[in-house]
């Protein structure tokens, strides 16, 4: 019981961190288990803003994950595994429609299906990157991004009935390590008071 309660609390805390960090540019369309489905009008985002938002969100997630783990002395499986939690982003652009079902508004359309399929990908297995942003080629084109000079890797997935979806992988763990190294202040023993 404790483990289930802690798992729910941890997940709720981290999802809240993610959703808050993605605002105001993105709007929560739906919570889907341990995922937040966010949406934004494509004409309101440029590439720089998109990447800054993803980085800010991931860095906030990493800081919050660290803080939550450091603040607990519980040894249940949920609390012990906090450092194993990670974040993945999928960015795609395409037309959608809004549909009301039982009082809830849903985004629907072929490109919504593409996003959900892109969540089931082979990135971890093929690249070893466990925290990433996968940007479809359609999204990089729409945002005016040139991903190769930014250090992103090309990646493609093929799905039945959809075909190949080309895209780019941004290694967020690498970016976090760079950020964390910049943010650290080291004081040598001879310089300490």
pLDDT 10s digits, 46-82 = 899 999 999 999 999 999 999 988 888 889 888 898 9
Q: What is the mean pLDDT of the chain?
A: 90
Q: pLDDT at residue 189 above 70?
A: yes
Strands 153-159 and 163-171, sheet pairing: antiparallel
pTM, 2 dp: 0.86
Give per-residue pLDDT as tens, 17-30. 999 999 888 998 88
Tokens of 60: 């906030």
Tokens of 118: 């892109």
Average pLDDT over residues 156-185: 90
Q: pLDDT at residue 1 above 70?
A: no
How far, in whole angstroms, is CA 160 from its chain's centroid? 25
Per-residue confidence band for 110, with pLDDT thresholds at 50, 70 and 90? very high
Q: Are 111 and 37 in contact (CB under 8 A)?
A: no
Average pLDDT over residues 161-172: 95
- Distances, alpha carbon 158 to alpha carbons 91, 131, 182, in Å: 16, 21, 38
pLDDT score for 148: 95
Average pLDDT over residues 134-158: 95
- Distances, alpha carbon 67 to alpha carbons 71, 72, 153, 174, in Å: 6, 9, 31, 20
Which stretch, 29-43, 102-116, 171-185, has highest mean pLDDT? 102-116
- 107 versus 30: the higher-pLDDT residue is 107
**99 has which bridge partners?**
106
């Amino acid at each position: 019981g404790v483990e289930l309660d802690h798992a729910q609390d941890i997940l709720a805390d981290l999802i809240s961190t993610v959703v808050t960090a993605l605002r105001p540019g993105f709007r929560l369309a739906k919570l889907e288990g341990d995922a937040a489905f966010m949406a934004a009008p494509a004409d309101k985002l440029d590439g720089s803003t998109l990447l800054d938002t993803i980085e800010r969100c991931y860095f906030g997630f990493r800081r919050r994950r660290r803080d939550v783990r450091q603040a607990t002395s519980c040894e249940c499986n949920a609390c012990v595994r906090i450092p194993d939690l990670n974040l993945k982003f999928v960015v795609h652009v395409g037309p959608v429609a809004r549909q009301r079902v039982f009082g809830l508004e849903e985004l629907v359309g072929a490109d919504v299906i593409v996003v959900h399929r892109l969540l089931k990908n082979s990135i971890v297995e093929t690249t070893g990157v466990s925290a990433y942003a996968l940007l479809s080629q359609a999204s990089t084109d729409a945002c005016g991004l040139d991903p190769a000079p930014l250090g992103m890797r090309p990646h493609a997935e093929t799905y039945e009935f959809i075909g190949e979806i080309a895209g780019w992988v941004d290694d967020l763990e690498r970016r976090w390590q760079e950020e964390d190294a910049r943010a650290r202040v080291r004081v040598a023993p001879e310089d300490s008071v």
